[in-house]
Structure 1
Amino acid sequence: MLAIVITYIIGGLTRGTVLYGLTTVIIQMNNKTALIKYNLTKGVTSLLSVACLLGSIVSTLLAPKLIGKIGKTNTLRFVSFLSLVANILIFPAIHWAYLFVFKSIAGFATVLLITVVPLIGVEQLDPKIRGVVGSLTNVTLQGGMFISYIIQYFISSQDRFYPLSVVLPTILSIAMIGMSFIIKERKQEVSETTNTVVVQPNITKINIWQKKYTKSFIVAISLGMSIGATGSSPILQYSTLIFKNSFNSPKSGTIGAIIMSGISFIAALAALPVVRRYKRKTIFTIGLNIILCCYIIMITVMYVKPAKKVSDAIILATTIVFIISYAFSSGSLFFVIMGEVFPPQIKSIFVNMSMAINQLTLLITTFIFPLLKQQENYIIYFCWVVLVEALIIKFVPETHNKLLSQIEFEMIPNNETNIIASSDSTAQFVLEILPSILTSRLERCRIQTAAYIQQ
């Protein structure tokens, strides 16, 4: 179990440092030689800013086939080596196209990294600690961002610190390679209630377009939108601009980024015991409702237009509340629920679907933010979060302290009545179908009894 926990931590740190560290440091660094070589125009800068996200989207599309063919641990080893290569080769200041290619590869590797780790971990962790361990992904991701902004602070004044932006992700990639050879994948899943071996089908041969997987589709979409729809990334970036415009200091924007990412990191840490003790959906909906209140306050301030200092103070305070609420809802629970909720036979497919939608919505919200007025962005985010919350309340089952087999029963509806209706022969029903129905009901009662005794 310790190896799995360490793997979660390294995976989150790698993603945080690569996505935010390399994006903000390498593109915006005060290294004149590199800037001349890259020939950075506004269009090129925008393209480089989304390079990691584009690589991430490609990663989520290819991941199910890759995992299905070579397995989870082999996939983890492959992307760990790929992340190491990308982090080393991204360093030379050759041309912006060269940087774009290796930033995309780095994004591809790191998103696949934090996708496959929960797939390995969730099947081996006790239900009582699954939530805490899953939340570590968000904690370490926020920690990676925090460290990256600190590195950026030093690089902004001293060019000689530039290699720091590559050293940390490289060390993390090497550590992940080591962990990929320590943790073991379950080749066969053992039933949590009967101790019998359950052989999982080949995911590359599963037809996910069956009616029984409709709920999984809806859950994958709603969870995938739960992070990007909040506009957390552009809102955090805007809060750093307030620092930059309010304080007459060349480093005020970077200091603001350090402060806000530090608050986000502390909030993610504080969410760990809450996720362990309380129901997932309850925490999720409370957090999203507070986020909706934050939107209303910011929209009102921007339309009323009070004095600039008053406006900045209200928006900063509201953003801090937003960050804390985000850490307790979408930030932590996205990774937790995504790893728990999908049935084992289709888990990797729908987990990657959620990650793809997550990266796509992040790309959309980040892209449209500078094109629209801020209040217009917040109105869009408000409507989007209302939709996401409605879908989560309606379709996402409660997973707190539940066995994976119990969650599977809730995700795949019972088709027994359909079987009875389609039977043409009474004899066939009595001799074949009725015994299977009774067996199914007895198995369900036994699972529920075992879960009750365990609690």
Structure 2
Amino acid sequence: MNVLICAYIFSGLSRGSLVTSMSTVIITSYHKYSFIKFELTKPVISAVSVAVLTGSALGSCVAAPLINRFGRKRTLIVFSIVQIISEILCIIPVHWVYLFVFRIVAGVASNFIMSVVPMLCAEFIQPKLRGIVGSVLNASICCGIVLTNLVQYFICLQDQLYWIIIIIPVASSILTLIISFKLQETSQLVGKVENTTKIFQKQYTKCFIVAFGLGFMLSGTGINTVLQYSTIIFKNSFNSKKSSSIGALISSSINMISSFIAVPIIRKIHRKKIISSGFSVMLIAYILYIISQQNFILQDQSNTLVIIASCLISFACASSSSPMCYIVNSEVFPLAIKTKMMVIVMFINFSSLITITFIFPLISLTNNVFIYICFVIMMLIVLMIYLPETKGKTLQENSDKMTNVQLQKTVIDEQNDDSVSITIADTRQCVEIALQK
């Protein structure tokens, strides 16, 4: 269990620092020292900003078959290496297209890592501890964001030091690689069951509806744009040349603190109550955003409202939708289709993130906020109706609630070529059956 927690911490640090390592300030510094000169336009900034998310979406398309074929542990090792190499190459100032391509590669690798680690958590950690351990992943992502913004604060006025921003992602990726060698591999029996199970069946309809809700639950809150474009949002909020960096640091720090506050909350309160409470706070924050952009509001009052709204968004997301997205995604789906459904959730998540992150600089803050409000209301309705309560439940209990049947799958004994009917309860049961044979 200690090894899994370390994997959560290092992979989370890597993810958080990677996504926020190319803010507008860093991209501007990269532009000044690029070997091949280019015009730094808003579409270019948007493209570079969504590159990691684009890679994550592409990775989701191929994650399930590769993870099932090569195993959780081997996949984690290979893509940790890929992420380290791509992160280092990203910092070489060539051209925005070069940066875009290698950020995509880093995003693909990061998606595989963030898919495998929650799977291992759900399969090897006791039901009562899954929520706590899952919240560790969210907290480590928030810590990665804070550390990146802290580095940015010190180098934002020194363009030649922009490359320092990549140290945290590279270091945490190296630690993820080291710890991955000590992780326990899931039984090959699980991979056989997943590979032979077809997900497009009537009994899995509810799984697809929940996957849709979970996929939009995190991206629809707008937290990624608040953190990714915090240097733009807070540009005029403080009377300082470092206003953008100060605002980004404040927002990400609240995000991190809230993630630690979420740990005891997740342990005591049911999942659906946490989700509904968090979404309610977000709606209040969105209203403050809209008010701050009205003409009758003075500039100082507008800046104050923007700061308050951003802090509320960071608090609500870090203590509700963000940890719930990872925790529920890893425990709600039947084991026979878990890998496939988890990557579907991630694909929906990253696809919507790409869209809202790309269009953020191109439209007004008010219009962006209206999009988030629609997402939040829609996802709240879907999840409250279709998502079962998973707190303290075994994987088999969650499976029964999602399918309303006792799932039984056939696994082929390669040695005797016999068919053996087994019930998919969890990984430990699969391992026991394999050992008995």
TM over 0.5: yes
Counterpart in the other structure of 2:375:
384
**Shift of residue 275 of structure 1?**
0.7
SS in 2 for 1:94: coil
Go from structure 1 to structure 2 and tell me whether the alpha carbon gap of 1:374 and 1:225 turns closer, same or farther (over 3 Å shift).
Answer: same
For 1:177 and 1:40, locate their aligned partners in 2 and report how far apart those are by CA, in whole Å.
37
For 1:124 and 1:334, locate their aligned partners in 2 and report how far apart those are by CA, in whole Å.
19
**Shift of residue 24 of structure 1?**
5.1
Go from structure 1 to structure 2 and tell me whether the alpha carbon gap of 1:299 and 1:57 turns closer, same or farther (over 3 Å shift).
Answer: same
Counterpart in the other structure of 2:312:
321
Go from structure 1 to structure 2 and tell me whether the alpha carbon gap of 1:375 and 1:100 turns closer, same or farther (over 3 Å shift).
Answer: closer
Q: Retained in 1: the 8 A contact 2:71–2:188?
A: no
For 1:301 and 1:245, locate their aligned partners in 2 and report how far apart those are by CA, in whole Å.
13
**Out of 353, 358, 371, which is 2:362 matched to?**
371
Matched, 1:207 2:190: no
Q: Percent identity?
A: 36
Counterparts of 1:255-274 in structure 2, within 5 Å, are: 255-274=246-265
Q: Retained in 1: the 8 A contact 2:20–2:228?
A: no
**Shift of residue 155 of structure 1?**
2.3
Counterpart in the other structure of 2:161:
161
Counterpart in the other structure of 2:38:
39
**Shift of residue 200 of structure 1?**
5.9
Counterpart in the other structure of 2:331:
340
Counterparts of 1:244-263 in structure 2, within 5 Å, are: 244-263=235-254
For 2:246 and 2:259, locate their aligned partners in 1 and report how far apart those are by CA, in whole Å.
20
Q: Match for 2:87: what amino acid?
A: N
**Shift of residue 414 of structure 1?**
3.3
Go from structure 1 to structure 2 and tell me whether the alpha carbon gap of 1:306 and 1:256 turns closer, same or farther (over 3 Å shift).
Answer: same
| 53-62 or 166-175, which deviates more | 166-175
Go from structure 1 to structure 2 and tell me whether the alpha carbon gap of 1:132 and 1:98 turns closer, same or farther (over 3 Å shift).
Answer: same
Structure 2 portions without partners, runs of 5+: 408-420, 426-437
Go from structure 1 to structure 2 and tell me whether the alpha carbon gap of 1:257 and 1:68 turns closer, same or farther (over 3 Å shift).
Answer: same
Cα deviation, 1:360-402, whole Å, max 9, x if unaligned, reads 1111212232333322222222122111001110111111111
For 2:278 and 2:138, locate their aligned partners in 1 and report how far apart those are by CA, in whole Å.
15
For 2:369 and 2:114, locate their aligned partners in 1 and report how far apart those are by CA, in whole Å.
29
For 2:64 and 2:100, locate their aligned partners in 1 and report how far apart those are by CA, in whole Å.
25
| 4-13 or 110-119, which deviates more | 110-119
**Shift of residue 243 of structure 1?**
3.5
Q: Match for 2:148: what amino acid?
A: S
SS in 2 for 1:319: helix
Cα deviation, 1:347-368, whole Å, max 9, x if unaligned, reads 1111111111111111121223
Q: Match for 1:118: what amino acid?
A: P
Counterpart in the other structure of 1:421:
none
Matched, 1:139 2:139: yes
Go from structure 1 to structure 2 and tell me whether the alpha carbon gap of 1:311 and 1:167 turns closer, same or farther (over 3 Å shift).
Answer: closer
For 2:219 and 2:8, locate their aligned partners in 1 and report how far apart those are by CA, in whole Å.
22
**Shift of residue 301 of structure 1?**
4.3
Go from structure 1 to structure 2 and tell me whether the alpha carbon gap of 1:40 and 1:172 turns closer, same or farther (over 3 Å shift).
Answer: farther
For 1:87 and 1:30, locate their aligned partners in 2 and report how far apart those are by CA, in whole Å.
14
**Shift of residue 330 of structure 1?**
0.9
Give the root-mean-square deviation of aligned CA atoms.
Answer: 2.4
SS in 1 for 2:151: helix
Q: Retained in 2: the 8 A contact 1:52–1:108?
A: yes
For 2:227 and 2:327, locate their aligned partners in 1 and report how far apart those are by CA, in whole Å.
23
SS in 1 for 2:362: coil
Cα deviation, 1:278-305, whole Å, max 9, x if unaligned, reads 1111111111122122223333443463
Structure 1 portions without partners, runs of 5+: 190-198, 417-435, 444-455
